[in-house]
Chain A
Amino acid sequence: AQSVTQPDIHITVSEGASLELRCNYSYGATPYLFWYVQSPGQGLQLLLKYFSGDTLVQGIKGFEAEFKRSQSSFNLRKPSVHWSDAAEYFCAVVSDGSGYSTLTFGKGTMLLVSP
């Protein structure tokens, strides 16, 4: 069965500093990987996704992620964090059923942005 590990429960970054959130997955086949963001009291918004091709994926809000098969990782990065980026971030891998797809999520990383 597939699984996703986000080793950091909380991360605090100063505004303007760079950010990297870690994600490791366990999946037998070629994974389809996602990063979602959740603001307090809100649903999940897709930041970016990796299906195939270029291993460096660009997303919304200036985020990017790099797929590294050798390390089973899909880390999320941003060169300069803004206060509005404070939220919870979820990494997910999809398992492909017959006619539908389901996501397996990590436990999430809460990003705090300090002034």
Chain B
Amino acid sequence: ETGVTQTPRHLVMGMTNKKSLKCEQHLGHNAMYWYKQSAKKPLELMFVYSLEERVENNSVPSRFSPECPNSSHLFLHLHTLQPEDSALYLCASSYGSAGDTEAFFGQGTRLTVV
């Protein structure tokens, strides 16, 4: 248990569906992140929120829409996904104020797009 909780753990969705992934942390961190982990590819940073403001969007398609309503919660809204979007989506949080900080990861949501 790292203090970062992701729900659901598994999700199967059709290409026309709309779903949301949820991440919650109670570690007092001020930065939250979404990473994508696909088979045979390095972990890819998708979005960064610092102090509830989106500070980085790494060329992620608009069918992925993040939301950070407060410092403890982070969502990833999904719509009209493609089969290649099937992956493990990991949420992380950190104090984020300097390089000498570690990121705590959730257990991930395994997403399958059919």
Contacts and interface: CB of A to CB of B under 8 A. Distances in A.
Interface of A: 4, 32, 34, 36, 41-46, 49, 51-52, 90, 94-108
Size category of the B interface is 20 to 34
A101 B104 CA distance: 12
Interface in B35-50: 40-43, 45, 48, 50
Interface of B: 2, 4, 6, 31, 33, 40-43, 45, 48, 50-51, 55-56, 90, 92, 94, 96-108, 110
B98 to A, nearest CB: 7
Contacts, number: 78
B105 A43 contact: yes
A97 B48 CA distance: 10
Contact of B108 (A43, A52, A94, A100): A43
Contacts of A90: 43
A99 B99 contact: no
B8 to A, nearest CB: 13
A13 to B, nearest CB: 22
B110 A101 contact: no
8 pairs of A and B residues whose beta carbons are closest in the complex: A100-B96, A96-B99, A100-B50, A43-B105, A105-B43, A44-B105, A100-B31, A43-B107
B106 A43 contact: yes
A43 B33 contact: no
A97 B42 contact: no
Nearest to A52: B100
Contacts of B96: 99-101
A107 B92 CA distance: 18
